[in-house]
Amino acid sequence: MLNTLSHAVRSSNLSVGRVISSAAAIIMSASIIAPMIAQQQESERATQELSQSTGIHHDQLGVYDKLWRDRLEGVAQQSLTKAESTVQANGAKADVAAATSAAKTAIAGLDGYKKLDDSQLRKQIDTTDAATAALAAAGVASDQKAAAAAAAAAAAAAAAQANANTPDGARAAAQSIMASTYGWGGDQFQCLNSLWTKESHWDYQASNGSSGATGIPQALPGSKMATFGSDWATNATTQIKWGLSYIKGSYGTPCSAWSHSEAMNWY
């Protein structure tokens, strides 16, 4: 009697165990299958909406998907081409290095666009376009900065030339050039000052009506001074450089040239 009762209990326990195991299996299967079912339902819903919005039967949507993917890849290629062109146009500008680096990183991410799914591809296109726009803007700012610097340098050069074109400015320029180029000091400058004061009063527009001699050093003809610059007629510094070279080659020093001028009334 006891053995029979024990056997019945064991059988009952095994049955309960089987039921519990089966229930657990069903629960585990549901946790795996449920998301798959939900995903399938979402896909079907999206397909139905796409079919309704495009008027294309759902059996033909594969063709539509192919056309959409081709269009998306075309946009990616355009984005890539524009980014590469923008990098090429601005990459040499040192002050846009950070923007250039960001654009290159975006290009690298988009380069293998055929391997990206639609979602990843759209995101990478947006990232690349944003990096390209940022680099283009930085390039424009760099160009404007360079243009402003060039304009400032040109204005400074024009101001310096205007100053050098005055008698006092021409004297200062001559003293600086003769010291740096020929090693002549203050004594030689005194001779030069006497010589060119006599010749032209340091007026870069001076012209001798009878001989045709021109400029501060009274070159004859004035076009000789073009060997030191095409602006010889309007730039006192160009005239001074030519005149000092002429004195060096013909007399050795300004004092020798002045001595000759005093004796002969010309040099």
Check whether residue 250 and residue 189 sit in a common domain: yes
pLDDT at residue number 65: 76
180 and 123, same domain (yes or no):
no
Q: Among 113, 144, 175, which residue terminates a domain? A: 144
Domain termination site, one of 144, 159, 190:
144
Together in a domain, 134 and 184? no
Phi-psi region of 206 (alpha: psi -120 to 50; beta: other; left: phi over 0): beta
Instruction: Return the pLDDT at 49.
Output: 55
pLDDT band at 33 (very low <50, low <70, confident <90, very high): low
Q: Are residues 106 and 177 in the same domain?
A: no
Residue 162's identity, in one-letter code, is A
Residue 50 lies in a domain: no
Residues 202 and 248 in one domain: yes
| For range 110-121, the mean pLDDT | 95
Same-domain status, 176 and 223: yes
**Predicted pLDDT of residue 35:** 56
Q: Is residue 48 part of a domain?
A: no
Over residues 184-192, mean pLDDT: 97
Classify residue 156 as exposed, middle or buried by CB count within 10 Å of its CB (0-12, 13-18, 19+).
exposed
| pLDDT of 129 strictly over 60 | yes
> What is residue 16's predicted lDDT score, i.e. its pLDDT?
45
User: Helix-strand-coil percent breakdown of the chain, rounded to 5?
Assistant: 80, 0, 15
CA 96 to chain centre: 5
Same structural domain, 82 and 171: no
Distance of CA 47 to the CA centre of its chain: 47
- Chosen domain end from 144, 178, 202: 144
Given this model, what pLDDT does residue 141 score? 97
Q: Which pLDDT score is estimated for 143?
A: 97
Is residue 96 located within the same domain as residue 178? no
- The residue among 127, 117, 128 whose CA lies nearest residue 65 is 117
Return the pLDDT at 122: 96
pLDDT at residue number 23: 46
Look at residue 58 and tell me if it is in a domain: no
- Are 181 and 255 in the same domain? yes
Do 112 and 173 share a domain, yes or no?
no
DSSP class per residue in 115-159: GS-HHHHHHHHHHHHHHHHHHHHHHHHHHHHHHHHHHHHHHHHHH
Please give the pLDDT value at position 145. Answer: 96
Residue 186 lies in a domain: yes
Residue 202 lies in a domain: yes
Within-domain flag for 46: no
What's the structural domain count of the chain? 2
Half-sphere exposure of 249 (CA within 13 A, CB side): 6
Contacts of residue 198, Cβ cutoff 8 Å, sequence gap at least 6? 261
Q: Residues 256, 174: one domain? A: yes
pLDDT at 160 over 70: yes
pLDDT digits (tens, 9 = 90+) for 196-224: 999 999 999 999 989 999 999 999 999 99
> Rounded to whole angstroms, how far apart are CA atoms 165 and 243?
15
Same domain, 111 and 191: no
For 196-264, give the DSSP string: HHHHHTT-TT-B-TTT--BTTTTBSSGGGGGGG-TTTTT-HHHHHHHHHHHHHHHTSSHHHHHHHHHHH
Question: Is 155 a domain residue?
Answer: no
More confident residue, 257 or 66: 257
Q: 241 phi and psi, to 5 degrees?
A: -60, -45
pLDDT tens digit sequence for 42-98: 555 655 654 565 555 545 545 667 889 999 999 999 999 999 999 999 989 999 999
Rounded to an integer, the average pLDDT of 245-263 is 98
For 163-172, what is each residue's pLDDT tens digit? 999 999 999 9
Output the pLDDT for position 18: 53
Kindly state whether residue 125 falls inside one of the protein's structural domains: yes
Are the beta carbons of 205 and 195 closer than 8 angstroms?
Answer: no
Q: Phi, psi (5° rounding) for residue 219?
A: -70, 145
**Which residue's structure tokens are 């450089």?**
241
pTM: 0.57
Give the domain range for residue 74.
63-144
